């Protein structure tokens, strides 16, 4: 049974983003500028609208409270948001801001900005949506939506978890937010305002980020601040010793929107009742996966019907894994899959999965269902039910998604995922895997990885059964 996910209200400034993506392999003859040719144009939600779509893609109801007007860009954005989120509008004065990036591959060459509209005033439905929310994400892009709803957001922060993703052009968060998520540069700029403009390190290292986070926790009266550090992860501070949450693996790709992915994930988990530390850890992992899967430009892939019509009925995890695989392939990344029962996860399993993740951009673990394990291992197995095995696997930093299969072999699931690499332990070196012809049929590769000797679930279970029971105290 799927666990219901808490509805989320996203408040902030929506943008309309365009990408002109092509190739640049020569300079113009009349000026030292690259010539971009073979361009493809795409449009997508930006700003708070991107954050709302990312939160909705996780399978939860999302309401977006934002400023829209009667201009063409606002109309286009309404069409892009239709069917994805519930839209509550406040009046926009001027034209909706839009951004056009010119890219050669994944490298931005130029950005053109149009429209300078700002939220004019609030409305009753907008106030009701914010004050009645079970969780709120403020995606402030400095164009006034958070300002006109500031009183409602202050009320919400006293009643529900509020995550505030600030912008240097905007104001500080309202007091009492559960988590603020500035980038290192934004944290430095806001901290300097609180420090009356006092200069600090030009290069923002961990020491500077930690000091800025502590300053902002105190100055903003926030419960916690997570300073995002790009490929280094995030630094979480409650005002004292900070917690560094590193990325699980390096992710090469377009980082546009990674901060929105981070904030949307953290806000959703806090709304579901997660601890702040756990929410930040998962947010770092989600932002890393987002970059590896192609970033904001992969949003359109979510609307394509390239997922199989019949998904295994194990809940959201397998469906999420299939969608993740499609996004990674569409973005040109290397998809790695590994499989097994993973009953009593041990050091040999972890070493294998870590090595598999380093072989590509994304790792999906294919795990046997309980019935599948029983057919393979006997009636006494599995020792750990599949829901718990999936939960433990998803908690590993090197694992991006988990899929469950009920067959004796993962071949049908592999046909849905179509990984570039199918990773197995080195103990299979003298045998030909039954799924090898299938993987090679779409140009994939079977890759054997070193396996730690002496580690096995059967051995662990046998030693645990032979261990003497601890003595108990009288009366207990």
Gap between the Cα atoms of 420 and 435, Å rounded: 13
Q: Which residues pair with 264 in a beta bridge?
A: none
Pairing relationship of beta strands 335-340 and 362-368 according to DSSP bridges: parallel
For residues 433 and 156, what is the distance between their CA atoms, to the nearest angstrom?
A: 56
Q: Quickly count: other Cβ atoms within 10 Å of residue 370's Cβ.
A: 18
In 3-state terms, what secondary structure has residue 357? helix
Measured distance between the N- and C-terminal CA atoms of the chain, rounded to whole angstroms = 37
Look at residue 401 and give its three-state secondary structure: strand
- Tokens representing 137? 């994400």
Residues making up the chain, counted from first to last? 476
H or E element that contains 318: helix 316-330
Query: Residue 19 has which token pair?
Result: 């990408």
Beta strand 234-237 pairing with 225-228: antiparallel
Neighbours of 123 (CB within 10 A): 15
CB 354 within 8 A of CB 393: no
**CB of 188 closer than 8 Å to CB of 212:** yes
Residue 165 falls in the annotated catalytic set: no
User: Both tokens of residue 95?
Assistant: 């034209």
Other CB atoms within 10 Å distance of the CB of residue 9: 29
Inter-residue contact 17 to 296 (CB < 8 Å): yes
Instruction: Give dist(CA 58, CA 122) in Å, integer.
Output: 28
Candidate list 140, 260, 314, 370, residue with the active-site label: 260
Is the preceding omega at residue 473 within 30 degrees of 0, hence cis? no
Q: How far is CA 105 from CA 101, 255, 341, 420, in A?
A: 12, 13, 39, 21
Contact 49, 79 (CB under 8 A): no
- What are the φ and ψ backbone dihedral angles of 150, each rounded to 5 degrees? -60, -40
What are the backbone angles phi and psi of residue 339, rounded to the nearest 5°?
A: -140, 165
Active-site positions? 260
């Amino acid at each position: 049974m799927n666990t219901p996910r808490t509805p989320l209200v996203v408040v902030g400034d929506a943008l309309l983003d365009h990408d002109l993506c092509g190739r640049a392999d020569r300079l113009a003859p009349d000026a030292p500028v690259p010539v971009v040719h073979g361009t493809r144009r795409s449009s997508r939600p930006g700003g708070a609208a991107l954050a709302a779509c990312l939160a909705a893609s996780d399978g939860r109801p999302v309401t977006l409270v934002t400023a829209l007007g009667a201009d063409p860009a606002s109309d286009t954005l309404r069409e892009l948001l239709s069917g994805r989120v519930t839209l509550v509008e406040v009046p926009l004065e001027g034209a909706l801001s839009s951004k056009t990036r010119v890219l050669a591959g994944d490298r931005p060459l130029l950005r053109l900005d149009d429209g300078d509209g700002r939220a004019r005033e609030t409305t009753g439905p907008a106030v009701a949506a914010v004050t009645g929310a079970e969780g709120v994400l403020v995606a402030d892009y400095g164009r006034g939506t958070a300002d006109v709803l500031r009183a409602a957001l202050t009320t919400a922060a006293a009643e529900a978890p509020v995550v505030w993703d600030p912008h240097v052009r905007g104001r500080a968060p309202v007091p009492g937010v559960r988590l603020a998520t500035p980038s290192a540069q934004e944290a430095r700029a806001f901290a300097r305002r609180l420090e009356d403009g006092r200069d600090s390190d030009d290069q923002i290292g961990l020491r500077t980020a930690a000091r800025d986070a502590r300053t902002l926790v105190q100055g903003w009266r926030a419960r916690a601040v997570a300073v995002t550090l790009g490929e280094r992860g995030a630094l979480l501070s409650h005002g004292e010793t900070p917690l560094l949450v590193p990325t699980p693996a390096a992710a090469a790709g377009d980082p546009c929107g990674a901060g929105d992915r981070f904030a949307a994930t953290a806000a959703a988990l806090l709304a579901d009742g997660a601890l702040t530390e756990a929410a930040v850890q998962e947010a770092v992992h989600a932002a890393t996966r987002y970059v590896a899967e192609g970033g904001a430009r992969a949003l359109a892939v979510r609307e394509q019907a390239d997922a199989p019509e019949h998904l295994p009925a194990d809940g959201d995890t397998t469906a999420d894994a299939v969608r993740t695989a499609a996004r990674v392939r569409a973005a040109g990344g290397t998809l790695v899959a590994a499989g097994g029962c993973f009953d009593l996860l041990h050091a040999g399993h972890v070493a294998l999965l870590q090595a598999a993740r380093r072989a590509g951009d994304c790792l999906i673990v294919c795990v046997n269902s309980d019935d599948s394990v029983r057919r393979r291992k006997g009636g006494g197995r599995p020792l750990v039910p599949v829901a718990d095995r999936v939960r433990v696997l998803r908690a590993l930093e090197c694992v991006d998604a988990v899929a469950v299969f009920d067959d004796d072999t993962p071949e049908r699931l592999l046909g849905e995922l179509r990984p570039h690499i199918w990773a197995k332990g080195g103990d299979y070196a003298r045998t030909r895997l039954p799924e090898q012809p299938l993987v090679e049929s779409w140009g994939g590769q079977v890759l054997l990885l070193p396996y730690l000797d002496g580690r096995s679930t059967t051995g662990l279970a046998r030693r645990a059964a032979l261990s003497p029971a601890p003595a108990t105290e009288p009366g207990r």
